[in-house]
Amino acid sequence: MFYAGLALNGLAVGCVAALAAVGLLATYRVTGVFNIAFGAVAVFCAYVMWQCVRVWGMPVGVAGLLVLGVVAPGIGLLLERAVYRPLRSGASGLLVATLGVLVLQLGLVFLLWGGRSYVDAPSLLPAGDVRLGTLHLPYATIVELCVVVVVAGGLTVLLRATRVGLMVRAVVDDRDLAAAVRVPADRLAAGGWAFGSFLAGLAGVLWAPIYHLDPYSLTLTVLETMGVAVLARLASLPVAVGAALVIGVGQTELTAVHPAVRWQGLVDAFHTNLFVLVLFVALMVLPRLGIRDSGALGGLHRVGARRSRADVVGRLPLGALSLVLGLPLFFDPGDLRAALAVPALAVVFVSLVVATGYAGQISLGQAGYAGLGALFMAKLAEGGVPWLVALFLGPVLVVPVGWLTGYPAIHRRGLYLALTTFATAAVVGRFVFAQPVFVGGLAVMRPPGFVDDHWFYGLELGCLGLALVVVWTLHTGPLGRALVALRDSEAAAVSAGIDVRRVKVFVFACAAGLAGLGGALTASAAQAFNPTDFDPVQGLVWFAAVAVWGVDSAVGAVVGAAALVAVDVGTVVGVSGLLIGAGAVLLGRFPGGIAGVVRRVGDWFAVSPVRGERRLSPAGREVADRVRERRA
């Protein structure tokens, strides 16, 4: 049944979603970069708007002009000049750079505002409504519709029927060739980033009064509008606007559905999260989007990297690493409590090394797999399965989920695969972890004999060792060589006779199981299932952290987990996000991350002062000394 009054209310949500989608498409059409950091820009501008009005007492109109006229486009210009221009469109590191910007801005929000949620976000739109018979159309909806029509229509004309649009297409297709014929590529890109950031800020400011102002929740809400852009195949602005309005109306119409009380929460999830469901379905159904994935993985691996055992363990001796990880066993109970998060998070990070570092498949959905591992473990234990058995059986049940969600990876790589895995985590987070019917009253305990923190930490270390053994097994032998070939060149792997489909799905299943084990350990350490621990946006932070420390280094992942926990415990909230974001932004200039830098420094020290001479043995050094003496 259709309710006209509900439909009018849904237009407000649909208009803001349309503005967000237009901003994504505008940036993509002008620069060739799919801006995953779009949601963080929206959240940051919304918080600045709140600060100006609620704390500094500015009039709403003045604050709106400051935020939307200066702050939002200024962020776009700054990012284009400092981050994206050095990398260039289509160059290596762009995907991780956008993730780094997202994490960096979220860290700044936590640092400045403490990550607090606010329900008093100011509204730029006028109050009141127009009476249409028995219906009431708010002035705010009228303004939003006018803005959407003007922005989308003007941008469509600009890109399709003007010389500027022709130059934009030339820059996106071949930037170097466009620059050779004197097309102002840098100015066009700067304009695209400024306009996209303006629309991101506008979406955040308009959406904050509708939803409460919260860093993770509002960021995810804005990112979910990527589904509208996907439906438009990243090309058609009219389709994006129409889809956004239809989905917005559909969300409000679902509020009239009232099933049994037990399932009311699930129906509520549908009408509040219809955009993320559309994103998931669209990515699963649409075979191709025309996404330019060139260089999507660049910067994550070293150029010309050689796969060896040193890549698994890095340059850091395993004995030293074991000693550092074993030190918390001698901590006081208060200090040990914080250290319990390290092995659990390290297992999740290692799962990313398997999926992305070894097979070259970007996975932004590890938070969903980790949460499912924790949920399955708790459900099995409640059903009578011994806790120690449930601790390992729960992650095993995540493996089929990884297989099913990894199946789309058969035909996808790069950004398309990244969006698919993120949508999977978002759907799981919204429709499973946030629903009382699944997690309500869920009790999480530790296995008997491991209730004490010291004993449980020892169990975590054993699980981390098991994860590293799995990584070692995947890295060596024929399977390891197949993974390297798949990561470096899928076409070459097929030519070599490798069953690419089977390898991809197998890697996703293994990575999902490892992430599930890390999630089960996380919940057991806290003795509670906390959905915020497995938020999809948290998964983006994890991916960026692993990329910074070295996505093809298992030891780098372990050290990165320890460093992340230490920074969170030893400093204020937000510092870790700033550090991870800054590192991810710089990753395009330092391929391989911190682990890659350590390897290159080690290689540099391994070269003797005599050009081309390597200190391979004492006998070799003796011969080199004799040569230098004769030359002297």
| Position 91 confidence tier, pLDDT thresholds 50, 70, 90 | very low
pLDDT tens digits, 403-454: 887 776 566 667 778 888 898 899 999 888 988 888 888 888 888 888 899 9
Residues 409 and 551 in one domain: yes
Residue at a domain's end among 223, 239, 258 = 223
Do residues 580 and 472 both lie within one domain?
yes
- Look at the alpha carbons of 565, 567, 572, 578 in this order and tell me if their dihedral is positive or negative: negative
Is the same domain home to 214 and 316?
Answer: no
Q: What values do phi and psi take at 517, rounded to 5? A: -65, -45
Considering the domain architecture, whether residues 202 and 79 belong to the same structural domain is answered as: yes
In this structure, are 217 and 348 located in the same domain?
no
Asked whether residue 369 falls in the same domain as residue 468, the answer is yes
Q: What percent of the chain has pLDDT over 90?
A: 31
Within a domain: 149: yes
Phi, psi of 136, deg, nearest 5: -125, 120
The answer to whether residues 351 and 507 touch, using CB atoms and an 8 Å cutoff, is no
Specify if 238 maps to a domain: no
Q: If you write DSSP's letter for every residue of 287-302 in order, what string do you get?
A: -------TTTTBTTB-
Instruction: Choose between 580 and 129: higher pLDDT.
Output: 580
Query: Span 270-286, mean pLDDT?
Result: 82
Pairwise CA distance, residues 483 & 543, whole Å: 19
pLDDT, one tens digit per residue, over 322-367 is: 777 888 888 877 778 889 999 999 999 999 998 888 877 788 989 9
Pick the last residue of a domain from 178, 195, 223: 223
Question: What confidence category does residue 290 fall into, taking pLDDT thresholds of 50, 70 and 90?
Answer: low
Q: For residue range 582-620, what is the model confidence (pLDDT) as tens digits?
A: 998 888 677 777 877 777 776 666 554 444 444 444 555
Residue 233 lies in a domain: no
What pLDDT score was predicted for residue 87? 75
Q: Give the per-residue pLDDT at 616.
A: 42
Is 615 a domain residue? no
461 and 589 in a single domain? The answer is yes
pLDDT of residue 525: 92
In a domain, 354, yes or no: yes
Tell me the residue ranges of DSSP E strands in 78-145: 129-132, 135-138
Q: What is the dihedral of CA 421, 422, 426, 427, to 10 degrees?
A: -30
Query: Is residue 612 in some structural domain?
Result: no
Identify which of 89-98, 111-120, 366-375 has the greatest average pLDDT.
366-375
Please, are residues 422 and 280 in contact by the beta-carbon 8 Å criterion? Answer: no
Give the CA diameter of the chain: 103
Domain boundary among 223, 243, 264: 223
CB 196 within 8 A of CB 38: yes
Same domain, 219 and 313: no
Burial degree of 236 (CB within 10 A; 0-12, 13-18, 19+): middle
Same domain, 213 and 329: no
In this structure, the answer to whether residues 467 and 566 fall within a common structural domain is: yes
Residue 320 belongs to domain with CATH number: 1.10.3470
**Token pair of 611 as six digits:** 């050009």
Residue 101, helix vs strand vs coil: helix
- pLDDT reported for residue 624: 54
- Same-domain pairing of 23 and 118: yes
Counting the structural domains of the chain, the total is 2
Helix (H) or strand (E) run with residue 244 in it: helix 237-253
Tell me, yes or no, whether 273 lies in a domain: no
Query: Which residues, listed in sequence order, are joined to residue 393 by a DSSP beta bridge?
Result: none
Give the range of the structural domain holding residue 450, as residue numbers without chain letter.
309-599
Give per-residue pLDDT as tens, 495-534: 777 777 788 788 888 999 999 999 999 999 999 999 989 9
Domain contains 630: no
pLDDT above 90 (res 66): yes
State the pTM of this model: 0.86
